[in-house]
Amino acid sequence: MYYEIYMDVFFLVNFMMDYLLLAAVCRMLAGDFRRRRVLPGAVLGSLLTCLTTMLPVPGFVKLLLYHVAVNTVMLKTAIPVHGMREFVKAFFMLYGGGFLLGGIFSFFGQYIRTGSLFFLFAVVSYELMQAVWAFWRQMQRQNQYTCELLVEQSGRKVRLKGLIDTGNSLTDPLTGQPVCIVEREAVESLMESTQKRRYIGFRSVGNEHARLLLVQFDSLYLPGKEKKQICDIWIGISDTRISTDGTYRILVNPDIFRRGCK
């Protein structure tokens, strides 16, 4: 079976896709991209693809050249990667972006068959891929500031989802330990079995002389990679919600990960 290939069209199609993929990988790695590097990389990648297609070699050799040699030269030209680890990361991003871009493009292509709209669909697919990537990064950043905690008192435990508040530098003036703040409703059942309570003063927006109730619990356990347990911990009690939708029940002082753990 023979296929008739118009090399000029083949070159333009590959150039367009290579350019979009390289631009996407650059943005994923560095947040932006430089056209003076991406443009030559896309041209070289498309040119090498065309030359490889015309080589009188077996199909598996062409596949090897496509996926290893051509992509390596293209990445090295377009992206200033440093070291093997960063190169491997860029290499997998190139293929991941290719699968995602191809999937989005195929979805649109099944509805409209007009060949002249190819480049429009390519750009739309690229923008959608960037939107998916931005959403994923946003979720990733959000997860970096959340954690699961266990508050224990007299054998009873309450699991809470916490928000790591980088602006919370509140410390207990008596012990010097960082103070987390939890909703009263979330730990009210545990407060019934502890009588160790006291108040500390602190400053908040609109209130220079506020007072915060501290209650001592048996322990606060931080699961995950940290796996730390803080015994006899004083936690601030808030009568208002930490988050309006109830997602977070405790504000975690970031210093709690570095101090007072046993």
DSSP for 69-134 reads IIHHHHHHHHS---HHHHHHHHHHHHHHHHHHHHHHHHHHHTT---GGGHHHHHHHHHHHHHHHHH
Q: What number of CA atoms fall less than 13 Å from residue 222's CA on the CB side?
A: 26
Task: Provide the CA 192 distance to its chain's centre, in angstroms.
Answer: 40
Q: Is residue 165 flagged as an active site residue?
A: yes
- Cα(189)–Cα(217) distance, rounded to whole angstroms? 12
Angle value at C-alpha 152, between 247 and 167, nearest 5 degrees: 45
User: Among 165, 232, 239, 255, which one carries the catalytic annotation?
Assistant: 165
- Cα(248)–Cα(146) distance, rounded to whole angstroms? 9
* 208-245: burial string, b at 16+ Cβ within 10 Å, e else: eeeebebbebbebbbeeeeebbbeebbbbbbeeebeee
Q: Does the CA dihedral 70-76-82-86 come out positive or negative?
A: negative
Q: At what angle do helices 71-78 and 83-109 cross, to 10 degrees?
A: 110
DSSP for 25-37 reads HHHHHHSS--HHH
- Cα(80)–Cα(77) distance, rounded to whole angstroms? 8
Task: Provide the CA 216 distance to its chain's centre, in angstroms.
Answer: 35
Residues with a catalytic annotation lie at 165
